[in-house]
């Protein structure tokens, strides 16, 4: 069966996600309208500016349909701004936790660091750009990457995966592969 993964293409790092999805051996589809959501096996929501993406989702009348899909168990992977959209209760409400937007302050607005991912033997190179984090998550959400100071920067709740950082800006397909192979 052909697996088709959508990449929300309203704003942000769209082409990078398309490359990653393609590298995982599945068919990507850029998603710009409500109709594009039909028949997908999953969706990735890129980094960008969550306020802008939210406004465009409302303009395209996609916020409610997408929220409904997420509540029904549709697999979604959100990076950075995508995390904000997925974890905010008034937006897509797909993961239980508390989001701190632009949570790393001015000096560290952008930084890179090696991350330990729960259950993975090799570290993952995290690229953070004005990144949010989760100060806590609640069951059934689970933290996958927690920094030494307790900030949660990757988490999963059943079919919803979020990272504060940008796997699509690395050449390391493990997060996308995990999404495609374990969550679809």
49 is in an annotated binding site: yes
180 in contact with ligand GLN (CB under 6 A): no
159 is catalytic: no
The smaller minimum CB distance to ligand GLN, of residues 26 and 160, is found at 160
Q: Which of residues 47-106 bind ligand GLN (CB under 6 A)?
A: 47-50, 80-81, 84, 101-102
168 is catalytic: yes
Q: Give the residue carrying structure tokens 């980094």.
A: 47
Q: Which of residues 31-50 bind ligand GLN (CB under 6 A)?
A: 47-50
- Catalytic-role residue among 80, 112, 114, 181: 80
CA distance to 67, 84, 106, 126, 153, per residue, from 24 (Å): 26, 25, 35, 19, 23
CB of 109 to ligand GLN, least distance (A): 9
130 is in an annotated binding site: yes
CA distance to 91, 102, 129, 134, 165, per residue, from 109 (Å): 24, 7, 6, 16, 12
Q: Give the residue carrying structure tokens 């409302």.
A: 58
Q: Rounded to whole angstroms, how far apart are CA atoms 90 and 154?
A: 20
Number of residues that bind ligand GLN (CB under 6 A): 12
CB of 45 to ligand GLN, least distance (A): 10
The H-assigned helical ranges of 12-94 are: 14-23, 50-59, 63-71, 81-87
Three-class SS state of 121: coil
Active site residues: 80, 166, 168
Residues that bind ligand GLN (CB under 6 A): 47-50, 80-81, 84, 101-102, 129-130, 132
């Amino acid at each position: 069966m052909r697996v088709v993964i959508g990449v929300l293409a309203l704003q942000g790092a769209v082409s990078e996600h398309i490359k990653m999805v393609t590298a995982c051996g599945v068919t990507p589809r850029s998603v710009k309208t409500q109709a594009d959501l039909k028949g997908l096996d999953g969706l990735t929501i890129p980094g960008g500016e969550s306020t802008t993406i939210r406004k465009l989702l409302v303009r395209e009348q996609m916020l409610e349909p997408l929220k409904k899909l997420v509540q029904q168990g549709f697999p979604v992977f959100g990076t950075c701004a995508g995390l904000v959209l997925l974890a905010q209760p008034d937006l897509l409400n797909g993961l239980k936790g508390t989001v701190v937007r632009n949570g790393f302050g001015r000096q560290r607005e952008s930084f890179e660091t090696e991350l330990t991912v729960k259950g993975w033997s090799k570290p993952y190179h995290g690229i953070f750009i004005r990144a949010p984090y989760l100060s806590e998550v609640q069951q059934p959400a689970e933290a996958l990457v927690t920094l030494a100071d307790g900030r949660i920067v990757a988490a999963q709740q059943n079919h919803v995966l979020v990272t504060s950082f940008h796997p699509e800006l690395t050449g390391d397909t493990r997060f996308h592969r995990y999404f495609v192979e374990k969550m679809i």
